[in-house]
Amino acid sequence: MTTQHTSGSKAAPTKIITTNTGRILRVSADAESVPTPPVTTPPAAMVDPARRADVLFRVRRDEGHEISSWWMIGAFLATSGLVILLLSGVPGIA
């Protein structure tokens, strides 16, 4: 991969726009100044970002609600115990 460097010139300022689907668009100031005709699309159904198909375990919780750290500690201990239990049955390990 190669990069192109120009001496003495700066990149055009850009603006970052986030769409409703979470996609991040980078628009340069030059492209923004050109007026484009508005595209009319039918109104999309309200989609909860936490329920998208590509998000498996995200859960929308109330504002300020956090999971207790003891759940993470318990999950670590249970996983570690399960791994030790399963590895204890493998022959040839000291």
Give the pLDDT confidence score for residue 27 in this predicted structure.
Answer: 75
In a domain, 2, yes or no: no
Yes or no: say if 24 and 14 are a contact pair by the CB < 8 Å rule: no
Give the pLDDT confidence score for residue 44 in this predicted structure.
Answer: 65
Count the domains in the chain: 1
For residue range 53-76, what is the model confidence (pLDDT) as tens digits?
Answer: 677 777 777 778 888 899 999 999
Question: Residue 47 belongs to what domain range?
Answer: 12-87
Q: What share of the chain is helix, strand, coil (3-state, %, to 5)?
A: 30, 10, 60
The residue with tokens 């668009």 is 25
In a domain, 94, yes or no: no
- Rounded to two decimals, the pTM is 0.37
Ranges in the chain, pLDDT < 50: 1
In a domain, 43, yes or no: yes
Q: Return d(Cα 45, Cα 90) in angstroms, integer.
A: 53
Yes or no: say if 28 and 10 are a contact pair by the CB < 8 Å rule: no
How far is C-alpha 36 from the chain's CA centre? Answer: 30
